Amino acid sequence: MADKYYRSTYVNVNLNEIASNYQIFQKIHPKKTVIPVVKANGYGLGSIPIAKKLMDIGVEFFAVATLDEAIELRMHGINAKILVLGVVPAEQITKAIQHRVALTVPSLSWLTTAISHIPDENEKDLWLHIKLDTGMGRLGMKTIEEYKNAIEMIHEQAHLIFEGVFTHFACADEPGDSMNKQQQLFEEMVESAEKPQYIHSQNSAGALMKDTQFCNAVRVGISLYGYYPSAYVKENVKVHLKPSAQWVTEIVQTKTLQSGDSVSYGSIYTATEPTRIGVLPVGYADGFPRLMTGAYVNVNGTQCRIIGKVCMDQTIIKIPDHIEVNDKVILMDHHTDSPQSAETLAKQQQTINYEVLCNLSRRLPRVYYNSDSVEIHNELLK
């Protein structure tokens, strides 16, 4: 660790693996623009260093969820195209114009309101991607009439550009015909009008499970970071993704409980015999939730069980005699078959690997591995 980090809990992020995962999708879809989705701070791993690494290998188009995320990238030198996939408040459209950010048009009413907030003196272009709701039931237009009206309205404005159209699959990571039905509806709607520069429907699961020639771009989120959208997808594709994150801490104190001694809040664990324990400086404020109680961590190759309730800042584990203070502990490993994989943590937490990554707290330092060197980026010390 570098001297500027003042705790022994951190996340290792392998930027080379992320770049490798991106290139996998380039090989799967050689004629399409692969759009890395770096929303939610790069799924918890750090959008800025990740975007910079990807730009180094030629990426020219990113997607985020909010205008704030897009502006943050701009403020850190990311000059590639950026699309905001979520809804930007219509009255903030001038900010998008100012920062050269492409926006999603979710409805005709949003577009009407947004246009009313564009200053008459504006001379800068704004790129727009219309969202079609083909079955997700969230954002987007559901009728061809609304879609055509939106395109016409965009063309009526001198500096608005109809750049793209897209949809989002609801069940691409599950068995069944839902994805194909959504794709068919999407194609019917898009074919009803002129086609823009970018046509995209496939998310990570869709890009792994389906190759549609109709689209010329794919959006890659969770799989960019080396994780499969679901067990079903993993079992049904021949693509080897490389997990890019490893969460590490260490033992900061050891002690021996005597029979009858309890640990942590609520005293839900009470020793029935002399028991060695280790204290870890990590807790639910770091994104290691109380649901992890009863799970295992890796201490120098030994699987050690979490006992007592996970606290906000500390966690207690049961340890054998050979484990000592300063021994390294793996909370989440970068191997899919590890007892500490993101998927194993997700199962323990009754959630999905997406949420495990996104829950990684801002206060966790991220250590970035780039080629044979280590690049340190600490958001806490800005």
Binding-site residues for substrate, in ranges, read 138, 312
Catalytic residue among 4, 124, 195, 265: 265
CB 35 within 8 A of CB 63: yes
Q: Rounded to whole angstroms, how far apart are CA atoms 262 and 246?
A: 31
Annotated binding site: 138, 312
39 is catalytic: yes
Catalytic residue among 32, 39, 81, 131: 39
27 is catalytic: no
Catalytic residues: 39, 265
